[in-house]
Amino acid sequence: MSSASVAVIGGGISGLTAAYQLHKEGTSFVLIEKSDRLGGLIFTEQVGDFTIDAGPDSLLIQKPAAIELCVELGLHNQLVSTLQPRTAYIVRNGKLHPIPQGSVFGIPTNLEALLASHYLSPQAKIRMAQDLVLPPKTDESDESVASFFRRRFGKETVDYLASPLLAGIHAGNVEQLSMHALFPRLVEAERRQGSVMRAFRNRPTGSTSTTSTHGLFRSLTGGLQTLTTALTQSLPNSVVKSGVEATSISGSGPFSVTLSSGENLSFDKVIFATPAYATSAIVQSLAPELSNLISSIPYTSIATVAIAYPRSSIDQLLNGTGFVVPEIEPDLSIAACTWISSKWPGRSPESHVLLRSFVGGSRAPQALSQSDQTLITTVQHDLRSLLDIRVPASLARVYRWPRANPQPHVGHLELVAQIDRHLSTYPGLQIIGAALRGVGIPDCIAAGRAAGHAAAQ
Ligand SMILES: Cc1cc2nc3c(=O)[nH]c(=O)nc-3n(C[C@H](O)[C@H](O)[C@H](O)COP(=O)(O)OP(=O)(O)OC[C@H]3O[C@@H](n4cnc5c(N)ncnc54)[C@H](O)[C@@H]3O)c2cc1C
């Protein structure tokens, strides 16, 4: 039997942060992680002089939890801003069109930006401007991201903005993802000002002196794994059980957690920082209804394909951070491509460019069944077509992320409220992680901190 009072199950950024907080507050705990490696989706590979973030690569600074944690861990000197120019592009008719300055989520907030949005047809721009006069939605019900954009800005913006940019971040289906759960700022903008464009024109984001000089995102010089490594190093080795899976839980405080090794450990409190489907399986026999609710959160899978080319062979200047590809564009398979060597300093030798493409998500659910070579060939085909890259790759790496992107569908916030109601009947249990209250790393960190603090009381 363990003498620790808290179990943290899952050693991604959510669980690591909860463990860090428990340690900071002097509470005894055990961190249980299925894999031999801590960090979950955060994984950086160093290949020669290339630093490749295989999963996430950016920390959004508008939500301060991630930056605050980096500073607290002594990583402030390693925080880096995105390089200029920070232009992102949208593909239309096989060509890259820049998202003009003065756009928020790709939505132009002034006439200049609207006119310069060449990824939209003239008719679509006229329709989009109607956002300024259309009445706001009167009821408070949730709706899909597609429904919101269709209402406010017209159908074409669903295909060329909402789907590749907003749903694309989540590798999800624009017709299913929840507007209320994912983009509350846009919902609020419509509700308060009657028009999204007017709301953002009056209160432009990204325009404080810090964000306009240094951009909205940060990373760490050695890649984002620097953060999970620092968190891991802050914990005593003895409290980490890696390479072993939690399989079930029973009891009512103390709880008995069964591991794949056959061990049973006893804890007063348990923090689940596992993906929703894993949490659902662990609590199945203890709390079947809770388990069913959690398992209803779907996931999509994605592969990231990192490819380096000699810089001298690239005609395009790669002036920006990368591009997104609308699903409606024919003959292209990648969903997006980040120009890593133009976005972050020091990620590739000067002699090369490093590009990272995304394949899969809701638009290509079978993508991960393809071989590495097929995925690389697919990506190279698209890069040849869009960037005219015709030379062989100097380096190619495929990273597979099965069931990695939780999908907050319409009604997600109500589902979370239901989960919370059920959970409140099991005092001592907490559920955190990307599936419930925010996918971004800052949200995961904030939830991990709060859960660790609550369990320490
Ligand atoms: C390709 C990609 C790019 C992304 N880019 C960004 C980005 O740039 N910025 C950003 O903010 N967010 C990004 N995200 C989202 C972000 O990475 C995740 O939301 C976040 O890392 C999730 O952390 P987590 O700890 O909640 O979950 P995870 O990282 O999934 O960790 C869960 C852990 O639980 C473990 N586990 C599972 N089952 C068990 C079990 N039974 N017992 C014990 N352990 C178990 C797993 O092995 C895993 O380590 C991206 C996501 C993906 C997939």
Question: Does the pLDDT at position 322 exceed 60?
Answer: yes
CATH code 1.10.3110.10 region(s) in the chain: 101-208
Mean pLDDT, range 90-115, rounded to an integer: 92
Quick: pLDDT tens for 100-110.
988 988 899 88
Residue 87's contacts (CB-CB under 8 Å, 6 or more residues apart) are 98, 99, 319, 320, 321
What's the 14 CA to ligand 1 centre distance in angstroms? Answer: 8
Choices 1.10.3720.10, 1.10.8.60, 3.40.50.2300, 1.10.3110.10: CATH for 101-208: 1.10.3110.10
In total, the chain counts a number of residues equal to 457
> Rounded to whole angstroms, how far apart are CA atoms 166 and 324?
10
CATH code 3.50.50.60 region(s) in the chain: 6-40+226-297+408-456
Atom index in ligand 1 nearest the CA of residue 57 equals 8
- What is the distance in angstroms between the CA of the first residue and the CA of the last residue of the chain? 22
**200, burial (CB in 10 Å: exposed 0-12, middle 13-18, buried 19+):** buried
What's the 42 CA to ligand 1 centre distance in angstroms? Answer: 7
What's the 350 CA to ligand 1 centre distance in angstroms? Answer: 31
Quick: pLDDT tens for 140-156.
999 999 999 999 999 99
- The reported pLDDT for the residue numbered 4 is 67
Q: Ligand 1: does its nearest atom lie under 6 Å from the Cβ of 9?
A: yes
What's the 11 CA to ligand 1 centre distance in angstroms? Answer: 9
What's the 43 CA to ligand 1 centre distance in angstroms? Answer: 10
- The reported pLDDT for the residue numbered 315 is 75
Quick: pLDDT tens for 380-434.
999 999 999 989 999 999 999 999 999 999 999 999 999 999 999 999 999 999 9
Q: Ligand 1: does its nearest atom lie under 6 Å from the Cβ of 12?
A: yes
| Percentage of the chain exceeding pLDDT 70 | 97
Task: Assign 201 a pLDDT band (cuts: 50, 70, 90).
Answer: confident
What's the 290 CA to ligand 1 centre distance in angstroms? Answer: 21
8 A C-beta contact, residue 409 and residue 64: no
| C-alpha triplet 309, 314, 315: angle, nearest 5° | 175
> Rounded to whole angstroms, how far apart are CA atoms 275 and 351?
40
Amino acid making up residue 294: I
Question: Does the pLDDT at position 1 exceed 60?
Answer: no
Torsion angles phi and psi, residue 388, rounded to 5: 60, 40
Instruction: Report the chain's mean pLDDT, rounded to a whole number.
Output: 95
- The reported pLDDT for the residue numbered 313 is 84
What's the 264 CA to ligand 1 centre distance in angstroms? Answer: 26
Q: Ligand 1: does its nearest atom lie under 6 Å from the Cβ of 440?
A: yes
Q: Which of 14, 16, 34, 41 to mutate to test the pocket of ligand 1 (most atoms within 8 A of CB)?
A: 41
Cα distances (Å, whole numbers) of residue 228 to 44, 194, 249, 295, 455: 10, 42, 27, 27, 21
Quick: pLDDT tens for 274-284.
999 999 999 99
Residue 232's contacts (CB-CB under 8 Å, 6 or more residues apart) are 16, 38, 39, 240
CATH architecture of 6-40+226-297+408-456: 3-Layer(bba) Sandwich (3.50)
Task: Assign 338 a pLDDT band (cuts: 50, 70, 90).
Answer: very high
Mean pLDDT, range 213-218, rounded to an integer: 89
* Backbone conformation region of residue 197, classed left if phi is above 0, alpha if psi is from -120 to 50, else beta: alpha
* Backbone conformation region of residue 321, classed left if phi is above 0, alpha if psi is from -120 to 50, else beta: alpha
Cα distances (Å, whole numbers) of residue 284 to 129, 247, 255, 268: 50, 10, 14, 19
Atom index in ligand 1 nearest the CA of residue 41 equals 29
What's the 178 CA to ligand 1 centre distance in angstroms? Answer: 20
Amino acid making up residue 357: S
Q: Ligand 1: does its nearest atom lie under 6 Å from the Cβ of 441?
A: yes
Quick: pLDDT tens for 253-271.
899 999 999 999 999 999 9
Quick: pLDDT tens for 124-142.
999 999 999 999 999 999 9
- The reported pLDDT for the residue numbered 101 is 87
Nearest CA to ligand 1 atom 13: 56
- The reported pLDDT for the residue numbered 362 is 98
Mean pLDDT, range 51-79, rounded to an integer: 97
Q: Ligand 1: does its nearest atom lie under 6 Å from the Cβ of 215?
A: no
CATH code 3.90.660.20 region(s) in the chain: 299-406
Contacts 24+ apart (CB under 8 A), 258-267: 259/32, 260/34, 264/1, 265/1, 265/2, 265/4, 265/7, 265/30, 266/1, 266/2, 267/2, 267/4, 267/5, 267/6, 267/7, 267/30
Instruction: Enter the CATH code of domain 299-406.
Output: 3.90.660.20
Question: Does the pLDDT at position 212 exceed 80?
Answer: no
- The reported pLDDT for the residue numbered 319 is 92
